[in-house]
């Protein structure tokens, strides 16, 4: 079995899911997400980790009030990692660039045409 990063379709789905998570996190926690976050590996990993952390509390998988408070306190540190970039992230405006990014990724990895 190939790792997910070697499968363009799995990678595309992972990024699509992360897009939705980032939109939710940005609104819920007023995170200072910047445009083109998907091109910055540190921001991608930060946002992916935060999304998983929040999902575990929201789903009830974790029931640890002190841990949830730690998450909320860490939002300030997370925000610092997200401030690198020129313009704020606006999902409606940035979606076409994100789609181009995915299409270019798929073409570079031999995954065919972008959607």
Residue 69 lies in a domain: yes
Residue 16 lies in a domain: yes
Q: What is the pLDDT of residue 34?
A: 96
Residue 113 lies in a domain: no
**pLDDT tens readout for residues 84-98:** 888 999 999 999 999
Residue 62 lies in a domain: yes
Q: Which residues pair with 34 in a beta bridge?
A: 88
Q: What is the pLDDT of residue 103?
A: 92
**pLDDT tens readout for residues 16-73:** 999 999 999 999 999 999 999 999 999 999 999 999 999 999 998 988 899 899 999 9
How far apart are the C-alpha atoms of 43 and 52, rounded to whole Å?
Answer: 14
Residue 89 lies in a domain: yes
Residue 115 lies in a domain: no
Residue 25 lies in a domain: yes
State the DSSP code for 86. S
Residue 112 confidence (pLDDT) above 60: no
Residue 79 lies in a domain: yes
Q: Which position has the token pair 């190939």?
A: 2
What percentage of residues in the chain have a pLDDT greater than 90? 68
Our count of domains for the chain comes to: 1
Domain that holds residue 21: 6-108
């Amino acid at each position: 079995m190939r790792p997910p990063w070697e499968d363009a379709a799995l990678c595309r789905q992972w990024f699509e899911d992360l897009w939705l998570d980032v939109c939710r996190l940005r609104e819920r926690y007023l995170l200072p997400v910047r445009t083109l976050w998907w091109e910055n590996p540190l921001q991608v990993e930060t946002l992916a980790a935060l999304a998983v952390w929040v999902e575990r509390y929201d789903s009830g998988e974790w029931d640890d009030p002190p841990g949830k408070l730690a998450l909320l306190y860490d939002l300030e540190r997370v925000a610092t990692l997200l401030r690198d970039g020129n313009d704020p992230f606006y999902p409606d405006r940035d979606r076409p660039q994100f789609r181009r990014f995915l299409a270019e990724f798929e073409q570079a990895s031999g995954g065919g045409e972008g959607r």
